[in-house]
Chain A
Amino acid sequence: MKSVVSIHQLGQIFDFIKKDYRVLGTKEENGKPIFGEISSAREILIPTPKTILPFKKLIYPAILDLAKTENGKPVAFFGMTNCDAEALCVFLDKFKDTGLVPPFRNILVISTTCVPDENCFCTAFGNGKITNFDLHITKEKDQYAIFSGSALGRKILKLNRIKVSNTISKPTAVKLENVRKIQLEKLGKAIDDKTGKLPFWQEIADECFGCGACTAVCPLCFCTGKDFENDAEGGCKHCLKWDSCYAKSFSEIQNHFDLRPSNVNRLYNWYHHKFVRSPKEDGEILCTGCGRCIKACPAYLNQHRIIETVQNYTKVIDKSK
């Protein structure tokens, strides 16, 4: 269902939501788009560019004090691209029942039209349709079109006396040029079967610095370490900390026995987790094609091209048979 509203009405909806929710969204700070607390509708960037860091730091901080994991005010994401909204759903699902992130029922998703860049490849995994939202907003000249995607979204519009047209209308799907579809099943099999692919992974690992920048910017990387944070006064906090599976000691057990001693082992594990292990666990791949990893990689590795290539790598082997 679509409604067209003015900036004033959008502000009214924002204020309405702000009463009950902690509002987070994409805003500009020092000339760069970032995810942060939003205090006014004017701050929200619509259409929404991609932030360097995704939403995850806002609901799952880099250092999470386990003494303070109580679920406070519900969270509204106001101003979020479709790929991030999808990642948010997967992220919350992965952490359900842990008590570490707000539960799904306490999250309101108001997605917005995105500004795709040269690294985006979300359409490789789907048809680009925008589906994961309570409300979705696009800018139409001086006005805003609002689509409701859930009962909660419709209720918010109704309570704000926004007229909803009777015709069924959906947000325009994301279209990206030069992005070919990736068959997930085939990709999973291609990664899972290591036979004959060692040179392939080694070649990438030789380029990769193993810095873990891709894991820090990925909305669906959530490797975690557990630690005690000590302070000078003798206090100590029991914390969870972001970790990276590219870190050297990540798979180390006692006596410094490292189960993934070289970068190629760790790099392979990253792709394996995203496209093999996670789909086996609950059917979800851990990638939405946001392309943040490509932008962040100091070695100029292109993760999109890597999965495209590994997928075709089997083709080469098949032909030779």
Chain B
Amino acid sequence: MPNQDSKFKYTSYEIIKKEEMMPGMFLFRLKGRLDFKPGQFVQAALEHFGEGTFAPCSDPNQKDYFELCIRGCGSTSNGLITLLPGDEMLVRGPYGNGWPIKKLWYKDTLLIAGGMGLVPLRPLIFEMLRSKINFDKITLVAGFKTDEHLLFSHDLEIWRKKLSKVIPVVEIGSKNFWGEIGMITEPLKNLVFNKKKTIALICGPEVMVPFVNQVLEEKGLPHNQIYISYERRMECGIGICQHCNIGSHLVCKDGPIFRYDQIKEEVGK
């Protein structure tokens, strides 16, 4: 294990709860305090295999535990999801800047999540609900593949009552589904918001972002009112490995959340 002074030192957390969100995707509850800001990320490791980047998704004010939502995707994450309550998980971090919460004060917030993009937004919603006085309208538009792939469905039901608007969108859904059916851009097109007062926060697959931006642009939302959380390959998390750059920015140090007008020229470089 890395020596005590190393920037790569892990803390071992006991898994106290594991919940299957959907086939191959689990919510792990880890015992202990993680002092993180919504939108930041951690590196979770599985010895012999490797390390993955995950965003803590629990209430950041929760002092006894934190939660990581892990989907089995590659060898490391598929290994991580075999861990059981009582096992230990190695975690280092948090890293990155987090969502610009103060910029959202007394503004309307439009949260746009694509699939697992809801994960880093969940702690923000908890935080915003805690001090609702500081925030005006909060709208959540969350897209999923099918209504069976709905993430945090229990939370969505609660948020539906507490937030101004919650619109789950699924590509394929049953008749009884309470949200909308189609692509995530559809409800966005129909959404009425105050373009002077609204800040949009986007987190989702890379392919989704330009389409969402296009709709927001058409609706007249200025680029400096759009924040995007980018997923990049992180090896170190401290700005030395050079894997995660977008143009001149390092996602681990300068991000993962960027204001669209500051990053748009750099994407693709």
- Which residues from chain A sit less than 8 Å from chain B, CB to CB? 66-70, 94-95, 98-100, 192, 194, 222-228, 230, 236, 238, 240, 243, 245, 250-255, 257, 259, 268-269, 272-273, 276-277, 280-281
Contacts and interface: CB of A to CB of B under 8 A. Distances in A.
Contacts of B45: 228, 238
A96 B5 CA distance: 14
B2 A226 contact: no
B213 interface: no
Contacts of B240: 94-95, 98, 100, 222, 224
B231 interface: yes
B233 A236 contact: no
Contact of A69 (B6, B243, B245): B6
A226 B241 contact: yes
Given A224-B236, A226-B241, A254-B231, A70 B3 contact: yes
B235 A225 contact: yes
Given A273-B242, A273-B245, A226 B269 contact: no
A223 B242 CA distance: 5
Interface string B223-250: 0000000011101101011110101100
A226 B233 CA distance: 11
B233 A252 contact: yes
B241 to A, nearest CB: 4
A157 to B, nearest CB: 35
Contacts of A192: 248, 269
B206 interface: yes
B73 interface: yes
A250 B243 contact: yes
Contacts of A276: 247-248
Interface stretch (B47-55, B103-111, B124-132): B47-55
Going nearest first, the 7 A-B pairs with the smallest beta carbon separation are A66-B2, A224-B241, A226-B235, A223-B242, A277-B248, A280-B248, A254-B73
B8 interface: yes
Contacts of A194: 269
Interface string B23-61: 000000000000000000000010111110000000000
B175 to A, nearest CB: 30
A198 to B, nearest CB: 11
Given A66-B2, A236-B47, A238-B1, A226 B242 contact: no
Contacts of B50: 226-228
A224 B45 CA distance: 17
Given A224-B236, A228-B50, A99 B248 contact: no
Contacts of B206: 253, 257, 259
B214 to A, nearest CB: 20
Contacts, number: 100
Interface of B: 1-3, 5-8, 45, 47-51, 73-74, 205-206, 231-233, 235-236, 238, 240-243, 245, 247-248, 269
A68 B5 CA distance: 11
A251 B243 contact: yes
A277 B73 contact: no
A115 to B, nearest CB: 32
B242 A224 contact: yes
A197 to B, nearest CB: 12
B107 to A, nearest CB: 30
29 contacts: A66-B2, A66-B3, A67-B1, A70-B3, A95-B240, A100-B240, A194-B269, A224-B235, A224-B241, A225-B235, A226-B50, A226-B236, A228-B49, A238-B1, A238-B8, A243-B235, A251-B232, A251-B233, A251-B243, A253-B206, A253-B233, A254-B231, A259-B206, A259-B232, A268-B269, A269-B269, A272-B247, A272-B248, A276-B247
Given A66-B8, A70-B3, A255-B73, 15 more contacts: A67-B2, A69-B2, A69-B6, A98-B7, A98-B238, A225-B241, A226-B50, A227-B50, A228-B47, A228-B48, A250-B233, A259-B206, A273-B242, A276-B248, A277-B245
A230 B6 CA distance: 20
Given A224-B235, A226-B236, A245 B242 contact: yes
Contacts of A280: 248
A46 B7 CA distance: 39
Q: Which of A67, A192, A226, A228 has the most CB of B within 10 A?
A: A226
A238 B235 CA distance: 12
A226 B7 CA distance: 13
Nearest to A277: B248
A318 B204 CA distance: 40
Contacts of A226: 8, 50-51, 235-236, 241
